[in-house]
Structure 1
Amino acid sequence: MRTEVRSFINVEEIEEHLEKNSFPSRERIEEIIQKSLDKNRLNPDEVAALLNVRDPELRELIFEGARELKKRVYGNRIVLFAPLYIGNKCINNCVYCGFRVSNKEVVRRTLNFDELKLETKALVNRGHKRLILVYGEHPDYNADFIAKTVEIVYSIKEGNGEIRRVNINAAPLEVEDYKKVKEAGIGTYQIFQETYHPGVYKKMHPTGPKADYLYRLYGLDRAMEAGIDDVGIGALFGLYDWKFEVMGLLYHTIHLEERFGVGPHTISFPRIEPAIGTPISSKPPFSVNDEDFKHLVATLRLAVPYTGMILTAREPIEIRREVLKLGVSQIDAGSNIGIGAYSKEDKEAYKKSQFTLGDTRPLDVVIKELAQEGYIPSFCTACYRLGRTGEHFMEFAIPGFVKRFCQPNAVLTFAEYLADYASEETKEVGSKLIKKEINNVEDEKLKETLRRYYERVLNGERDLYF
């Protein structure tokens, strides 16, 4: 029985914020950026002002602010993960989605448990440590099934490799069902509202459980009531005006902060990509161009300084390179969203996929490029396993401890990857970067400990962390 009846998304209020902040001055924009750089979340008026910037010079100020904030809070590390699609059965009829129930062109598949083990082994053998498991919305994919798939993924050990964190992207559940999934040891539970505009939402979700706007909107409240304190929000850009959707993500953040004392662990901002048998996905009703996409990412970075920002492989390679600089903290790499396509070559994987990927480069290629650009690729899961999640994570993050803990842990997981999976070219680039990173540590005690840990990794030890 649902008790939540009132939406925390006020359409008129959001539109009013956007309208009254239509022509922000340079001085106002500079003040807002400085507030963010002082590590304060922005309010709706401030975010609306950033969104309404049209002048290229002022946009560049926003971009520079986002770059600087990323450097101050997250350092130069980029967390890596891979999506693993478990099944594409679905009883919803979302008009933009390749999995929708009325789509006769998509090939329906659900991994059996043996196939799931093979897929996990394939990912482990490429060097992955973090996965997000993705499910269609279907009675077969209930809480017990999700929990079982999580347990199977964690059970796989291959050489020095294993999956250390499993996140979930699945349908909203009831509190008791979330508790079952939590007991399996998940990290973040991710639910995208898709569009925060209730009228547009109704048009885009005509039938199925997902048609219930409020039930989905409060899905992560129930997850947090169940004790899952790391949750991820997101909007699918292209369904409605991008400025409104950014405001919706801000309102969702504020709602979680006010009710639970902590906001979302991550925010995702995918754009609609073409999907088999889905015409609207090729011509989205509110298509977002590349410049506006960069603008919205930079604005989100400034709006919520301590929230992880996820840039997916939906985006083309060149755009990923540009947007990565604007405050992104997580990306997927080496991704394949065809069901069952990690463990065997499948030329028709697209027929089982929800949409089309823009960046299909192997993990090692992406890692080498990151290292060449000075980023530390990270597979770190230490905070999650040490209980530094939810409010506890914020206690570490807000004073600036993220760099103290996460930077050395990123170095150690990168060293593991280089030792166990990297090509010779990537190993050469990465080893030089690691030595530089260790030398740059200002705390001499921390530097010496990190140096010792690094030597232990080189000598075969694994899973060392601060």
Structure 2
Amino acid sequence: MYNFKTYDKDFINDQEIFDLLEKGKNPDPAEIRNIIAKSLDKVRLEPQETAKLLQVEDPDLLEEIFEAARKLKQEIYGNRIVFFAPLYIGNKCVNNCLYCGFRKDNDAIVRKTLTAEELKEQVEILESKGHKRLILVYGEHTCYDADFIAETINIVYETKKDKGEIRRVNINAAPMDVEGYKKLKEAGIGTFQIFQETYNHDIYKKLHPQNTIKGDYSWRLYGLDRAMEAGIDDVGIGALFGLYYWKFEVMGLLFHTIHLEETFGVGPHTISFPRIEPAINTEFYDQTKYKVSDEDFKKIISIIRLSVPYTGMILTARESPEVRKEMIPLGISQIDAGSRIGIGGYKKDDYIPEKEQFQLGDMRSLDEVIKEMCDFGYLTSFCTACYRSGRTGDEFMDIAKPGNIQNFCIPNGILTFKEYLLDYASEETRKAGEKLIECELEKIENTNPEKKKMIEEKLKLIDEGKRDVYV
């Protein structure tokens, strides 16, 4: 039995969401265009406005939504895409979530927790590929407590191979109490990420058996409140699409965003929207009636981008290369690549179904994905400068909301990309990347010649062997 702080009432009102979606049906086209215009002014939408966007069915209006999402992505984040990699530390779990390969009663899963030496080996492999940003993922088990997680964070930061190093560690783990989060803050955590999975109370209860870490809806829902109370001002929210009706989950994400903004003055740093995938010995994937089609997934991404214009959006390698290619322009700011999610998977560099939570859709190498991004005109970034320069939480949002964040992101993206091209890229990718950097510098020169000169001076330092150069 787990003894958690109880919450008499939470900020997700299921009936209110149902009512808003019902009232949003058959929206007037003029009103939809006014909502789009508000979003293009980089103003967060209200729930009733998002509900109306979710009920748009007219193909022409939908295309206006998609185009507005593309425009917002470009205006706020530019053409840069931040890259990271997941690193699964352990798959022990006390929960029995019906949809998850890690669930306690799944006898097909081989339970494994990386030792300190195995963790170092995994980090060295990732560094040898060029990664600078990781998200560490843990099963929800009492052995993965704050002290254990802090220790793994320290190991990751201390592990360096040749010119490689990890400069930012994010965490996806079970919710903690405030004291636990403080330990992670001291260890140098970046973003703490908790996915509510589903915001619908009844469905949550059905999918998450009681008397487990995850069985308490409110304890999980307020997990990021406690993180922010502990001083972690970058947090990430998400829902697992396919557990319940996708329009309800989009509304839940928006209400969660609003709650954090109203309570702490700053909303989530990132929003994630993974779709459910098959997992070994897990029947739920074939049973759920709420799977999200590619066309509806396109709506999810676009409407979240319009609803919260300034928040980062993550699209993972759960999705196929074809889907990622289509969805990235609609508002994505972060992706992973070269990912392996089996425990110890980077050493084997392949699927390890008996040690994986679900199946990946994109198994391409980091270099392959970066080359494709170059071909599409996207600037690869491994930047971590904001976090080490104090541009986090409300300070980051103060820059991001008016669309000024790319004044930092584009220069720092160029600098980290240059490091990758020199130290890790294939010849083909290096040539494509150098050409892309030239194009970026030309665009900067047209608006700010002094900035171009500053970037070129820093690029020269990198050519001379200096690393971790940033604005």
TM-score (norm 1): 0.98
1:117 and 2:113 are equivalent in the alignment: no
1:369 and 2:383 are equivalent in the alignment: no
Partner of 1:335: 339
Partner of 1:386: 389
Deviation by residue 1:12-69 (Cα, 9 ceiling, x = unmatched): 1111111111011221111111101101000001100110011111111110000000
1:129 and 2:126 are equivalent in the alignment: no
Structure 1 window deviating more from structure 2 (51-60 vs 218-227): it is 51-60
- Out of 417, 439, 443, which is 1:436 matched to? 439
- What is the one-letter code of the residue matched to 2:268? P
Q: Name the CA distance, whole Å, in 1 between partners of 2:399 and 2:7.
A: 32
Structure 1 window deviating more from structure 2 (192-201 vs 10-19): it is 10-19
Q: Name the CA distance, whole Å, in 2 between partners of 1:345 and 1:391.
A: 39
Contact 2:265 2:394 in 1 (8 A): yes
Contact 2:6 2:218 in 1 (8 A): no
Partner of 1:465: 470
Secondary structure of the equivalent of 1:192?
A: strand
Partner of 2:78: 75
Contact 2:239 2:249 in 1 (8 A): yes
Matches within 5 A, 1:46-125: 46-125=49-128
Q: Name the CA distance, whole Å, in 2 between partners of 1:386 and 1:341.
A: 33
1:246 and 2:250 are equivalent in the alignment: yes
Q: Name the CA distance, whole Å, in 2 between partners of 1:371 and 1:14.
A: 41
TM-score (norm 2): 0.97
Deviation by residue 1:218-252 (Cα, 9 ceiling, x = unmatched): 00000000000000000000011000000000000
- What is the one-letter code of the residue matched to 2:118? E
Secondary structure of the equivalent of 1:34?
A: helix
1:425 and 2:428 are equivalent in the alignment: yes
Partner of 1:318: 322
- Residue 460 of structure 1 and its aligned partner are, at CA, apart by 1.3
- Out of 436, 446, 450, which is 2:451 matched to? 446
Q: Name the CA distance, whole Å, in 2 between partners of 1:277 and 1:106.
A: 8
Contact 2:84 2:134 in 1 (8 A): yes
Partner of 1:182: 185
Contact 1:205 1:211 in 2 (8 A): yes
Q: Name the CA distance, whole Å, in 2 between partners of 1:309 and 1:45.
A: 22
Q: Aligned residue pairs: how many?
A: 465
Partner of 1:19: 22
Contact 1:336 1:342 in 2 (8 A): yes
Partner of 1:257: 261
1:196 and 2:191 are equivalent in the alignment: no
Contact 2:99 2:282 in 1 (8 A): yes
Partner of 2:312: 308
Q: Name the CA distance, whole Å, in 2 between partners of 1:147 and 1:300.
A: 32
1:286 and 2:290 are equivalent in the alignment: yes
Structure 1 window deviating more from structure 2 (95-104 vs 387-396): it is 387-396
Q: Name the CA distance, whole Å, in 1 between partners of 2:421 and 2:59.
A: 41
Structure 1 window deviating more from structure 2 (301-310 vs 282-291): it is 282-291
Contact 2:17 2:251 in 1 (8 A): yes
- What is the one-letter code of the residue matched to 1:61? E
- Out of 401, 412, 415, which is 2:415 matched to? 412
Q: Name the CA distance, whole Å, in 1 between partners of 2:450 and 2:227.
A: 40
Gaps of 5+ in 1: none
Secondary structure of the equivalent of 1:97?
A: coil
Q: Name the CA distance, whole Å, in 2 between partners of 1:256 and 1:306.
A: 14
Partner of 1:230: 234
Q: Name the CA distance, whole Å, in 2 between partners of 1:287 and 1:346.
A: 26
1:213 and 2:203 are equivalent in the alignment: no
- Residue 346 of structure 1 and its aligned partner are, at CA, apart by 5.6
- What is the one-letter code of the residue matched to 2:127? V
Q: Name the CA distance, whole Å, in 1 between partners of 2:437 and 2:279.
A: 40
Cα 1:10–1:409 change in 2 (3 A) is same
Gaps of 5+ in 2: none
- Out of 396, 399, 405, which is 1:402 matched to? 405
Contact 1:97 1:281 in 2 (8 A): no
Q: Name the CA distance, whole Å, in 2 between partners of 1:416 and 1:233.
A: 31
Contact 2:340 2:349 in 1 (8 A): no
- Out of 356, 361, 366, which is 2:359 matched to? 356
Fraction of identical pairs, as percent: 62
- What is the one-letter code of the residue matched to 1:204? L
Contact 2:340 2:350 in 1 (8 A): no
Q: Name the CA distance, whole Å, in 1 between partners of 2:82 and 2:29.
A: 34
Cα 1:9–1:58 change in 2 (3 A) is same
- Residue 345 of structure 1 and its aligned partner are, at CA, apart by 4.5
1:152 and 2:132 are equivalent in the alignment: no
Q: State the 4+ residue runs in structure 1 displaced beyond 4 angstroms.
A: none
Q: Name the CA distance, whole Å, in 2 between partners of 1:159 and 1:181.
A: 27
Contact 1:273 1:282 in 2 (8 A): no
Contact 1:275 1:282 in 2 (8 A): no
Q: Name the CA distance, whole Å, in 2 between partners of 1:239 and 1:343.
A: 32
- Residue 283 of structure 1 and its aligned partner are, at CA, apart by 3.9
- Residue 403 of structure 1 and its aligned partner are, at CA, apart by 1.1
